Amino acid sequence: MFDPVIQVVILAAIALFVLFRLYTVLGRGEDNSPVQRTEPQPKPRPVDTGASDLPLPNADNDRPIFTGPAAGGLEDIYNADNSFSEPSFMRGAKAAYTMIVTAFAAGDRATLRPLLDDDVYEAWDQAIADRETNGTPAFDLLRIRRAEIESAEMDGNMARIWVRYEAELGDGETTRTARELWAYMHDVTANDPNWILDDVEEAK
């Protein structure tokens, strides 16, 4: 039997041989040349172009940009009342159309009164009375097909915006399309922010 000391020496020699072979394989490249260890290159620092000092659009001024044929009038209204917002106005204009047409069809004078100018209310009040006398069926609003600003202007302190509507109305049996221009007005110096219906015309 082998001496235990000799066995340990033999095993150590084998381990050293294996480690040497691993180094020669793993420590060299594909062309058998030693692998060069390189330190990772630091990322280049961004060049300060001063762009961060440039003002973003509307950074100092949140003025809206108006477009379309009514842009000049809408700009005048905004200059007179900086709280004016075209998107907010159009949401209100669609809601007002729905409320007014629905109230008119139902003969709901209490709802109509605060939404209409005196002249418009008197004309619609008479139309409701005639309908009640004659038994003429009322046309309900089915849907708004189109609503867009046609024109806008400032007349003294009074802002006025014309909105073109195209809507589908029905009485349960027949359906018709209404094309109208509604003028909303608002005193920009008043505490009341609401707009009221000032005029209605048939659209061409």
Task: Give the range among 2-16, 17-31, 145-159, 184-198 with minimum mean pLDDT.
Answer: 17-31
Residue 51 pLDDT level (bands cut at 50, 70, 90):
very low
Most confident region among 1-5, 30-34, 172-176 by mean pLDDT = 172-176
Q: Would you state the pLDDT for residue 4?
A: 55
Q: Helix, strand, coil % (nearest 5) of the chain? A: 40, 25, 35
Q: Which residue has the tokens 């072979």?
A: 21
Mean pLDDT of 179-200: 96
Give the start-to-end residue ranges of the domains of the chain. 71-202
Q: Give how far Cα 166 sits from Cα of 12, 67, 68, 115, 180, Å.
A: 97, 21, 19, 20, 7
Residue 27 CB partners (closer than 8 Å, separation 6+): 34, 35
CA–CA separation, 195 and 114 (whole Å): 10
Of the two residues 25 and 198, the one the predictor is more confident about is 198
* Average pLDDT of every residue of the chain: 82
Does residue 91 surpass a pLDDT of 90?
yes
Quick one: DSSP state of residue 116?
Answer: B
What percent of the chain shows pLDDT beyond 90?
Answer: 67
Q: For 84-96, give the DSSP string.
A: --HHHHHHHHHHH
Residue 29 pLDDT level (bands cut at 50, 70, 90):
very low
Mean pLDDT of 79-100: 97
Does residue 36 surpass a pLDDT of 60?
no
CA–CA separation, 188 and 75 (whole Å): 14
Q: What is the largest CA-CA distance in the chain?
A: 131
Q: Give how far Cα 165 sits from Cα of 93, 140, 176, 186, Å.
A: 10, 15, 14, 19
Q: Would you state the pLDDT for residue 26?
A: 45
Does residue 22 surpass a pLDDT of 50?
no
Residue 147 CB partners (closer than 8 Å, separation 6+): 90, 93, 94, 97, 163, 164, 165, 166
Provide CATH code, domain 71-202.
3.10.450.240
Does residue 61 surpass a pLDDT of 50?
yes
H helix intervals, 65-199: 71-80, 86-106, 109-112, 118-134
Task: Give the range among 51-65, 121-135, 165-179 with minimum mean pLDDT.
Answer: 51-65
CA–CA separation, 163 and 154 (whole Å): 15
For residue 45 the two structure tokens come to 């620092």
Residue 53 pLDDT level (bands cut at 50, 70, 90):
very low
CA–CA separation, 94 and 113 (whole Å): 18
